[in-house]
Amino acid sequence: MLNKFKINKYVKLAIKLIFTATALYLVFTKIDLRLVIDIYKNSKLLLIFSALILFIISQLLSSFRLNTFFKKIDVHISELSNFKLYLLGMFYNLFLPGGIGGDGYKIFLLNKNFKTKVKKLFWALVLDRGSGLVALLCLAAFLFVFTNFTGEIKYWFILIIPASIVSFYFLLKFFFTDYVKSFPRFMTFSFFVQLAQVICAMLILIAFGQEDKYTEYLFLFLISSIAASLPLTIGGIGAREITFLYGAEILHLEINTSIALSLMFYIITALVSFAGIYFSFAKKILHR
């Protein structure tokens, strides 16, 4: 049984590596790498640094949201300890994709320290991610209405906003009643998390000297964030870039700028995630 688990783990890792490599190959054969490098050379560093700070804030808010779910299953840890655990999870997800993974490690550590059932911890993490996905869909649907995409069908996409929020609420009401009372709290966190990341992307575009089509770039950024959240590539790299590549063609955006934005956001994510390595050596990161 253990050998079978190891084989499945390596097969999944191999598939992710192939998908990531293929996506990046397609991207780098379509762009002019020299132009992307020039975009970085001429970018305004202060704005890039501001984007980095804003991303850190978004992750702090995201950890607050996750702790809202934890408290509902009687896992009471301080916000500081939870943020440390969150950063450690980011590090595992991005740099150790073949191992237990960030969410898996959180489940292991919390189960060990609080004796909380694995099933409860698993669903808390899934619903936390689900609330983030709902916010992503809502913001993407809202921005899509204002893009240069032609056709009246785009106005119907606004219905995604109430549909996704109501659907998620009733999912909780019928299957996860413990979380219903906290619905306004964690959904508020979710929207602020995604808004912070949208502004982060906006700052990067301004740093690059981009002067127009912000709505289209930001819409594509949100769609790429959804793609990056799928467990198809290593740390989301490749999925985000391939989405930007083909989305830029559909929305008539400059491809090199699109990929530069995508890669810069990945670099920022990697820098923040790498900070989690410190907590992998800490003897104790959980404090009630």
Cα–Cα dist 201/267, whole Å: 12
Question: Which DSSP string corresponds to 124-166?
Answer: HHHHHHHHHHHHHHHHHHHHHTTSS--SGGGGGGGGHHHHHHH
pLDDT digits 0-9 by tens, 248-281: 988 889 999 999 999 999 999 999 988 888 776 6
Share of the chain above pLDDT 90, in %: 54
More confident residue, 234 or 113: 113
Per-residue confidence (pLDDT) for residue 278, from 0 to 100: 75
- Residue range 6-25: mean pLDDT, rounded: 74
Could you report how far apart the first and last alpha carbons of the chain are, in Å?
36
| Residue recorded with tokens 């191999």 | 14
Per-residue confidence (pLDDT) for residue 1, from 0 to 100: 45
Weakest-pLDDT range from 36-50, 128-142, 151-165, 225-239: 225-239
pLDDT band at 27 (very low <50, low <70, confident <90, very high): confident
More confident residue, 28 or 262: 262
- Examine the pLDDT at 154 and tell me if it is beyond 90: no
Per-residue confidence (pLDDT) for residue 282, from 0 to 100: 58
Per-residue confidence (pLDDT) for residue 123, from 0 to 100: 95
Cα–Cα dist 179/184, whole Å: 10
Per-residue confidence (pLDDT) for residue 26, from 0 to 100: 83
Contact 242, 263 (CB under 8 A): no
Contact 101, 93 (CB under 8 A): yes
Per-residue confidence (pLDDT) for residue 5, from 0 to 100: 44
Domain boundaries, the chain: 2-280
DSSP 8-class letter at 74: T
Per-residue confidence (pLDDT) for residue 113, from 0 to 100: 85
- Examine the pLDDT at 2 and tell me if it is beyond 50: no
6: how many CB neighbours lie within 10 A of its CB? 10
Give the pTM: 0.90
Per-residue confidence (pLDDT) for residue 277, from 0 to 100: 82
